[in-house]
Amino acid sequence: MNPDFLRYSCQIALPGFEEKAQLLLQKARVLVVGAGGLGCPAAQYLAAAGVGNLGLADFDIVSVGNLHRQILYTPEDAGEKKVSIACERLQKQNPGIKLIPHDIRVTSQNVMDLLLQYDIIVDGTDNFDTRYLLNDAAVILNKPVVYGAIYQYEGQVAVWNIENESGVKTPNYRDLFPNVNASQIPNCAEGGVIPTLAGIIGCIQANEVIKYITKTGELLVGKVMIFDAQTLQSRIIKIGEVTGTHIVRLTETVFVPEISAADLKRELQENAVELVDVRTIEEREDFNIGGQHIPIDELYNQINDLDKNTKTVFYCASGKRSAEAIKFIKKRFPDAPFFSLEGGLKDWRN
């Protein structure tokens, strides 16, 4: 055995794997987008398995409230850049591979250049805009994507955009979800998530990457696996053999103006800003920081009643729904001085 492969001896011993599969892993270029609940376990096992070139893309910082599922970080890392910490830890875990940090927010302006550098993409994102953006860019560039998603006790995994034997592409994310109203779907901060689910789904994503690179096993192509952490049952839903979409261009990224909790607290003392709470009445009664209450479902019918000349900050539990509100408003009134509270009331309380 190649002495450099000693740490991989157990996987090389697998029937049908051997050193030739390990060489494929060594030459592979894998990008993990999102160094959070899914990205941490996926990247950790890809690094351990010997993926030779492993890129991580994330622009966020470590938050104590996410440590229960983001297993590469410690409380001492709070406030530090996720991608830097993750690459440092993974490099120590396996000094024989190359870790490439991408400390960026993935947008329509940089996604094509980013994906071009890699063979396969792991989608560990937690928002629909980036998920659709990765999907569409990958389709245009003919790159496969290993999709994963978690919410409360349920997780999903699928492999998108593989060329089948007939030279036709298999389904992608838009075949499963043509359009999603992101404002109506809570994220982990709002809806909750069992931490072990992130590890399970992230590991399955890593497993699909290894299968794709080494050409072993049957990929989750043309179907989506749904896993229930409470019952430990899973089911496979077939989507189809070929894609029904025709993606030729990217949706331009809409930038959401944000304001930090610290800056907002200061401006409120100066009476220089108005507030709009876009949460439900139940959430508002539980806790709020004042201002108008316009649930996001009603906001779309009241958009013309908003004061377009006054600086206004929209807020929710995590910043997700308020960001969706700003995106919608900016399409109608691009110059309105409207902002989303970064991190929502979660950051405000912290």
Q: Phi, psi (5° rounding) for residue 110?
A: -120, -5
Residue in 10, 40, 87, 188 annotated catalytic: 188
d(CA 6, CA 11): 10
- The distance in angstroms from the start CA to the end CA of the chain is 53
| Residue 171 identity | P
Instruction: Give the CB-side neighbour count of residue 284, counting CA atoms within 13 A.
Output: 15
d(CA 329, CA 195): 35
> Would you list the DSSP string of 201-254?
HHHHHHHHHHHHHHT-S---BSEEEEEETTTTEEEEEE--SS------SPPPPP
Residue 346 token pair: 């979660």
Q: What does the longest C-alpha to C-alpha distance in the chain come to?
A: 72
* Strands 98-102 and 338-341, sheet pairing: unpaired
> Would you list the DSSP string of 128-175?
HHHHHHHHHHHHHHT--EEEEEEEBTEEEEEEE--B-TTSPBPP-HHH
Please check whether residue 258 is in contact with residue 298, taking contact to mean a CB–CB distance below 8 angstroms: no
Residue 15 token pair: 């029937």
3-state helix, strand, coil in the chain (%, to 5): 40, 20, 40
| Burial class of residue 283 (count of CB atoms within 10 Å of its CB; 0-12, 13-18, 19+) | middle
| Residue 148 bridge partners (DSSP) | 157
Q: In the annotation, is 87 catalytic?
A: no
Task: Please give the DSSP secondary-structure letter assigned to residue 54.
Answer: E
Q: Phi, psi (5° rounding) for residue 284?
A: -65, -40
Catalytic residues: 188, 316
